[in-house]
Structure formats: structure tokens, C-alpha cells
Amino acid sequence: MRVMRQAMFVLVVVVLFAVAGVWANGRSADEPQTRIIHMTARQYAFEPSTIRANLGDTLVFRLQSADVMHGFYLEGHDVEAVITPQSPYVELRRPSEPDARPQKVEEIVVTADRTGKFRYRCSHTCGTMHPFMMGELVVAPNRLFIASSWGIVGLTAGLAGTALSSRKKQNGA
Amino acid sequence: MNALETIERRSAAAPTGLPEPSKRTFLTGRRMELFEKFPRLYWLVTRRWFQFAVVVPNLLFFYAFLIAGVFGSPVGNRNIIIIFIWILWWFALITALVPFASRVWCTVCPLPFFGDWIQRRALINVRTGRTCGLQNQMYGLNKKWPKALSNIWLQNIAFLGLCTFSAMLVTRPIVTVWVLGSLIVLAALMAGVFRGRTFCNYVCPISGFLSLFSMTSTLALRSKDLDVCAKCKTKSCSVGSDKGWACPWGIYMGKLDRNNYCGLCMECVKSCPNDNIGLFLRPAMSDTRIKGYDESWKAFIMLTLAAAYSIVLLGPYGIVKDFANVAEVGDWKGFGIYAGGLWLTALAALPAAFAACVWIGRRLAGRSDLGQKEIFLGLSYVFVPMGLLAWIAFSFPLIMINGSYILNVMSDPMGRGWDLFRTAQIHWSPILPEYVGCIQAPLLFLGAFYAIRAGYRFALEKTGTPAVAVRLAAPVSILVTAITLAFLKLFVG
Ligand code: SF4
Ligand code: SF4
Ligand code: SF4
Ligand SMILES: [Cu+2]
């Protein structure tokens, strides 16, 4: 019974911290804007390696390769493209429509309509480290990160609280 | 008795302060004995052919993988050896086998197969006779491993060394072939010279983290009643009998209180004349005693490696990938920075930060009578649950992102254009990659929770007063929180 009460207490503290964190930091101040991103793929990295954007932004990707053929798979946004060296065009396909023909396009337009971290990964085998070739798109406000990091602090505080309150009981007894 | 000498380090003195139930065991708290619950399981593991039957299929797969590694495609993600070992096997091992089934991998591991045969000259039957105080006839030289090396330092260094080159290991089939091939040869050679599973106990690089993280496991093989062991005349579990081989890991059941160095080979279950060995289901994170600096450092190394891989392999930093991938890039200076940073963090920086936290905690608690070493060892356990959960969090994306490679290489194991099951051409398709973070964050949470709770419990045991215990454990808990925040930043930030 006591363990249950303590667990509930810790859980409540964690949730309170997480909610407070998101409440305090979970809104984006900036107006949505359009960002044009000139992305270069090379063995085994993307440049820029990190893109920061805000919810509602429009992202325009122009992709090129500095060496061999690469891919560009953006998590959570139904985008996968093949980048050919020396070509301004990429072959875009939608993973959700596996049978559709790829389109030749010069830019890929993505709306940042969900928050959090989305990795873009090479999707065309390009060499030894290919499976680990990736970059990060971080769309603010990153609620998962805010909630979990405040939650961790809450966890530590909550555990300390339960430990200290058990002292009071001992002293009272 | 010779065979019992090696055991000392493996186990503590008899437990004290336990309540007086009818049966004394090393397990406290809730538990369920599985042999009693599932008689068929008991029947199975007491068959003489049991281990042979589970190892041989594994051995065949292992050889098939090695052949594919030599003759197949040099591109890692087109070769079955890379995909099956570094994605499938690794994922199963760290997320399922170790946390839920202790060292069951060692039950089925093919590496010591030839070594066992060299020592036993038998695949199934057991030989009676006398060798160095054992009740079995053993072949090979049966030498004792030097006392100075009877710890896991060698494994610590070997593992860290191997992992320094992991960017090559997990991407190049031939490197994996060389490493696994050498291990199998070394295991056989060592079995010819040294007694039992000396290779497993002190050299196998996989063994170090299996031993450390098996402490967290919900499964444990233990003596059912320590009083029966104390009165037992034969000690067959340790020295063998006509029913089973002497424990190859040098364990005496009457002292086995942790999972760390038991390879779950089930020989003792067969040989115990008193049917006194049980396989228990118990709460996770039940073994909490770190017994030497070698084990503490193993915990530091494992946590550092989880962080390093998360940065190098799962991070966006191309330059670090180039550093680690020295075989292709040839930037030895960069590799030096990477390797130096890794070794320095694992062996010095993290231990130093931790030691400082322990020291401050002792000051805050005002208990200078508690020795630095004692508290250091005790609290270093916090990195065990934390490290395990960090590794699990690291491993989820491997399978969720690259799981479709498993289907590809099943149809085309060597990357030669075969299509055995019509799955070779399945397009690379990650499974819900955008939700990987939603799995990783709770896992890190769980790790921090277990770590902080374990630190506090140890502190309470030492100090007896919650308020003092909180102060003793506070700096380490804050360190745990900070490291967890850093992992969160890497994975979801
Ligand atoms: S310790 Fe290593 S070689 Fe021995 S059984 Fe376990 S994994 Fe295999
Ligand atoms: S043989 Fe059985 S009873 Fe005897 S010491 Fe070993 S486990 Fe205990
Ligand atoms: S004989 Fe028993 S104690 Fe020894 S390694 Fe095998 S299962 Fe573990
Ligand atoms: Cu690429």
C-alpha cells in the first residue's frame, strides 16, 4: 500500500513537471516562414546536418550530391528522393505510395506540420557507413523533448520527496 | 579442494539478516520457481543432449554466416553476417535475452563448442573419473588461470578496444569474420590449456557485458535451499558427478548469489543429487552488488559506449563518423581524437566525475566512517540499470529503421542477386521512424528511475536513516539525471 502511494506521488510529480515544462516552453513565438535549404549529401553526411524550424514553416529542399548517388528519406513527412551527382533534379517518391512512379523535381516542399525531431537519412546504399548517414530536422516547440527532460527532473525530485517523507513517518513513530 | 578455490571471488559470504523461512535462499522478495511450475522444462534441461541440441543449429548458422562474410558482398547491409549479427542478434540479446533470461545466450553460444569437446572428448555423455579434484575425467592441460587475471579487466580492455573499431566492425563483413573467427580459435586453444570455461570467464569480450547486465535479469538460477547445500557431502554442482560435468564456470551453488558468472549450461541441474537447484523468475534489477573495481569500470565503459555509439552512429555529425571510419577515410589523427576521447571518458572522466559525486555525498551525509571505496563500489551499480536501458534505447532504431534489411538478406544472404523467398527486392522501409523517440524517452526514464532507486536503497542500507541516505545518494542521483538529460538531447532533443 505504501509503495503504491509513493509510486502515485512520484508519477504525479513527474506529470506535473512535464506539463509545466510544456506549458512554459511549448509555444513558438515566431511567425511561420519559408526556409530554403540547400542540402549537400556526401559520404556519409548531409550538410547542413541539423535544421531548426518552427511549427508551420514551409521548408524547400534543394538537394545535390558531392560524390556518389545518395538518398534523402525524411521521417514522418512521406518523402524519399534519390540524389544523382551533378544533377539539379532528384527523383521523388512517396513511401506511402510504393507503386507510384517517381517524379523528377528540382525542389521538395515540405510543411513542418508536426513538432519534434525527424531524421533525414540516406536511403540509397552509398558505401560502408551508409546505414548511419543522417541529419536532423528539429521542429519547435519540441514537446517530447521538453516534457521528457522536465519529467526527468520531476522524477529525481519526486523520488527525493518520497525518501524524505518516509523519514517523517519514522520520526513520528 | 582445488575446484572450489576459483569460486571465492564469484560469490559473497552467506547472507545475513535474512528472515528465517523454512528455506534459506539468496533470493529475497517475490519469486516463482520455474522447474516446479513447468516440469517439462526441468525434463528438457536435465537431458544430457540438451545443450548439444541447442548449440548445434546455432553453430551451423554461425558457419553459414562466416562463409557469407568471406564470399558474399563486402557491403554490410547486403550481407547476412552483418544484418543478422549486428541488427537481429544484437537487438534480441540486449532487449530480450539479457534483461529477461540472464546469460541464456551462453547456453546456446557456438563459440566454446570445440573447446568443450577438447576438454570432454564427448558431445553428449559425461565421463566419470578424477581430474584436479573434479569427479569427471577431463582432457587438456587443465591449468589454472593466473590469479592476477582472475577478474574482468582483460575483458574490459578487450571490449573497449574492439568497440573502438566498431564503425568498421558493424559495416564490413570481413572484419566481423576475422573477429568472430579469432574468438572461436582462441576459445578452443584456451580450452586446451586452461580448465573449464576460462575463456568465457576472463577473456570473451561478449562475456563482460553479459555478466554485468545479467544482474538486471528477471531470471536466476539459484540454490533452492542453502541449508541443503551446506550439508551436501558431494558438492556435485561444483565438482561434477556421473550425471553432469563439473561446473565449467567454477561455481559452487551454495555461494552463487548473483547471475554474473553463471553461463546457464544446466550441468549443475543435472548433477545435483538433491534436486536443489531452481530456476527462478524474480523482479528485474534484483542483483545489486558490484564486487570489484573491474565491475564498476565495466559499467562505466558500457555507459560511455552507449553514448559514443549514439553520437557516432545515430548522430548527425559527419566529421565524427569520418573519424571513427578510419579504414576508409584514413584520417588517423581524427581517429586518434575519437579513440582517445572514448578511452579517456570511459576509463577516467566518467569514473572521476562519479568518484567526486561519491565523495561529496559522503561529506553531505557527514558519515566519514563510510569508506570511499565501499560507497564507490556500492553506488556504481546505478550505472547498470542506466546503461542497460540506454543500450536498449540505442538499439530500437537499429531494428525499426533497418528491419527490412533482414527480409532482404534472408532471400539474398550474400548480396549476389539471389531471391530465395521473393523478399530480396523489398524496398528499404523504416517502421514508424518518427516514433522511435517516443519509445526511447520512456526507456531512459525507466533507467533513471531504477538507477536513482538503487542508489538510494544502497545508501539507506548503509546509513539506516532516510534523510542521511538522501544526502549520501544525492550527488550521484544528480549525475544520473544529468546523463539521462544528455541522452534525451541526443535521441529526441
Ligand atoms: S562467455 Fe562468450 S564465448 Fe562463452 S558462452 Fe558466453 S558468449 Fe559464448
Ligand atoms: S550438489 Fe546440489 S545440494 Fe550439493 S551443493 Fe550443489 S546444489 Fe547444493
Ligand atoms: S554448471 Fe550451473 S552454475 Fe555452473 S555455469 Fe552451468 S548452470 Fe551455471
Ligand atoms: Cu548516402
Interface test with B, best of A146, A159, A167 (most B CBs within 10 A): A159
Write down the residue that cell numbers 513513530 correspond to. A173
| pLDDT score for B51 | 97
Strand partners, B31: none
What's the angle, vertex CA A50, arms to CA A47 and CA A51, rounded to 5? 105
List, as ranges, residues 51-110 from A with C-beta within 8 Å of B.
Answer: 73, 75-76, 95, 98
Work out the number of other CB atoms within 10 angstroms of the CB of residue B333. Answer: 9
Q: How far is residue A132's CA from residue A165's CA, in Å, rounded to a whole number?
A: 47
Sheet containing A116-121: order of strands: A50-54, A134-140, A116-121, A70-74, A79-83, A90-93, A103-105
| pLDDT score for A165 | 86
pTM of the model: 0.94
What separation in Å is there between the alpha carbon of B21 and the centre of ligand 3?
Answer: 26
| pLDDT score for B368 | 79
The CA-to-CA distance between both ends of chain B, in Å, stands at: 57
Please report residues of B whose CB lies closer than 8 A to that of A115. Answer: none
Please check whether residue A140 touches B, CB under 8 A. Answer: no
A167 band by pLDDT with thresholds 50, 70 and 90: low
Please report residues of B whose CB lies closer than 8 A to that of A116. Answer: 434, 437, 492
Name the CA dihedral angle for B28, B30, B34, B38, rounded to a multiple of 10 degrees: 150
Please check whether residue A143 touches B, CB under 8 A. Answer: no
| pLDDT score for B328 | 84
pLDDT in tens, B156-211: 999 999 999 988 899 999 999 999 999 999 999 999 999 999 999 999 999 999 99
Q: Smallest Cβ distance to A149: which of B321, B434, B485?
A: B485
Name the CA dihedral angle for B463, B468, B470, B475, rounded to a multiple of 10 degrees: -100
Check whether the bond before A120 is cis (ω within 30° of 0): no
Q: How far is residue A11's CA from residue B409's CA, in Å, rounded to a whole number?
A: 44
**B413 to chain A nearest CA, in Å?**
16
Please report residues of B whose CB lies closer than 8 A to that of A125. Answer: 75, 77-78
How would you write the pLDDT of chain B (493 residues) with one tens digit per residue?
Answer: 344 444 444 444 444 444 445 688 999 888 999 999 999 999 999 999 999 999 999 999 999 999 999 999 998 889 999 999 999 999 999 999 999 999 999 999 999 999 999 999 999 999 999 998 999 999 999 999 999 999 999 999 999 999 999 888 999 999 999 999 999 999 999 999 999 999 999 999 999 999 999 999 999 999 999 999 999 999 999 999 999 999 999 999 999 999 999 999 999 999 999 999 999 999 999 999 999 999 999 999 999 999 999 999 999 999 999 999 988 888 899 999 999 999 999 999 999 999 999 999 999 999 878 999 999 999 999 999 999 999 999 999 999 999 999 999 999 999 999 999 999 989 999 999 999 999 999 999 999 999 999 999 999 999 999 999 999 999 999 999 999 999 999 999 9
HSE-up of B179 (CA within 13 Å, CB side)? Answer: 22
**Closest ligand to B98 CA?**
1
- For chain A, the domains span 2-28+144-172, 34-141
Please report residues of B whose CB lies closer than 8 A to that of A162. Answer: none
DSSP secondary structure code for residue A105 in this structure: E
- Which residue has the CA at smallest separation from atom 3 of ligand 2? B229
| pLDDT score for B1 | 38
Query: Which atom of ligand 1 approaches the CA of B110 most closely?
Result: 8
What does residue A107 show for φ and ψ, rounded to 5 degrees? -140, 155
Query: Which atom of ligand 2 approaches the CA of B236 most closely?
Result: 1
Is B492's CB within 8 Å of A50's CB? no
| pLDDT score for B22 | 65
Nearest CA in chain B to A44: B318
Q: Smallest Cβ distance to A167: which of B427, B429, B466?
A: B466
| Cβ proximity of B417 and B384 under 8 Å | no
pLDDT in tens, A53-85: 999 999 999 999 999 999 999 999 999 999 999
Is A121's CB within 8 Å of B465's CB? no
Q: Smallest Cβ distance to A156: which of B75, B452, B460?
A: B452
**Closest ligand to A132 CA?**
4
Chains A, B: CB contacts within 8 A come to 138
Question: What's the whole-number average pLDDT of chain A?
Answer: 92
Tell me the residue type at A127. Answer: G
Is A153's CB within 8 Å of B481's CB? yes
Give the CATH number of domain A34-141; options: 3.40.50.150, 2.60.40.420, 3.30.420.310, 3.40.190.10. 2.60.40.420
pLDDT in tens, A101-120: 999 999 999 999 999 999 99
